[in-house]
Amino acid sequence: MRHQTKRKYADRKKLNQKYHSQKAYRKQQKRKTGWRARWDKFTDRLVNVFMICFLLMIPVFIVYMIFFDDGVSKDGIYGLWQSENHQLAISYEDGSKGSKRDWDIVQDGNVLIKDARVDDIKRLEDGTLYIEVYAEERLFSDLPTKNGYNYLNMYVRKDNYLTYDGESYKRIDDDNKSITWNDGSKSLYGQRKNLLDRLKPYIVFGMFGGLFIYVLCVEWKIRRKNKNK
């Protein structure tokens, strides 16, 4: 009697195992051939597309930052200076209030010196600075030299003011980005906006958005892989 009961339970256990294995097999087959399988294939391809797009955006962003981002804009111009042979705009990117900063020297719409060395000599109460800008001799051949560098000194003031030899200059045309100097001559500042300039905020947003989507896609693939095990 006891042996029959054990055999009965053993047979039932085998039937249950067989039933569960068949159920799992059918479920697996549905995943391989049904709409879920098609959906999984679609999501896998979509994830791969997002990952490829993100990887393609990295070199595009790097090329843009190297060749097209000069860091000069109308709001960044701090001081203006003119001599017989040079018409320059002194600008800054970050607008930091430190006593020492790197400046961009701009001439006729082009960056002549990137991150020029600047010594802040003194600061006046109205915000005017007296500075010296140093550069290699070949760039400013008619300027005096100091410690092996050409240098120019000036008084600069926020909001595009400049006082140099007792004269002030402030006439800027925002439409065509030109500076009208005291003698009536004009020079360009900054760079003309092109397609990449207009796309810059979208590229930056796309980079961070792509990175976020990339992380989500990788996390989703890992969880899905663990779920199917």
Q: What is the pLDDT of residues 95-137, one digit of tens each?
A: 444 444 555 565 544 555 555 555 554 444 444 455 566 665 5
Asked whether residue 79 falls in the same domain as residue 63, the answer is: no
Of 29-38, 91-100, 181-190, the one with minimum mean pLDDT is 91-100
Sign of the C-alpha dihedral, residues 46, 49, 55, 61? negative
Asked whether residue 38 falls in the same domain as residue 57, the answer is: yes
Structural domains in the chain (count): 2
**Res 202: pLDDT:** 72
- More confidently predicted of 195 and 54: 54
Asked whether residue 211 falls in the same domain as residue 117, the answer is: no
Q: Read off the pLDDT of residues 131-160 as tens digits, 9 standing for 90 and up.
A: 566 665 555 555 556 666 666 555 454 443
Percentage of the chain lying above the pLDDT 90 cut: 0
Encoded tokens for 62: 């790097």
Encoded tokens for 120: 């802040």
Enclosing domain of residue 109: 74-191
Asked whether residue 63 falls in the same domain as residue 82, the answer is: no
Asked whether residue 57 falls in the same domain as residue 83, the answer is: no
- More confidently predicted of 27 and 152: 27
Q: What is the mean pLDDT of residues 198-226?
A: 72
148, exposed or middle or buried, with CB in 10 Å at 0-12, 13-18, 19+?
A: exposed
Asked whether residue 14 falls in the same domain as residue 55, the answer is: yes
Asked whether residue 112 falls in the same domain as residue 48, the answer is: no
- More confidently predicted of 67 and 125: 67
Asked whether residue 187 falls in the same domain as residue 207, the answer is: no
**Res 171: pLDDT:** 38
In a domain, 196, yes or no: no
pTM reported for the whole predicted model: 0.28
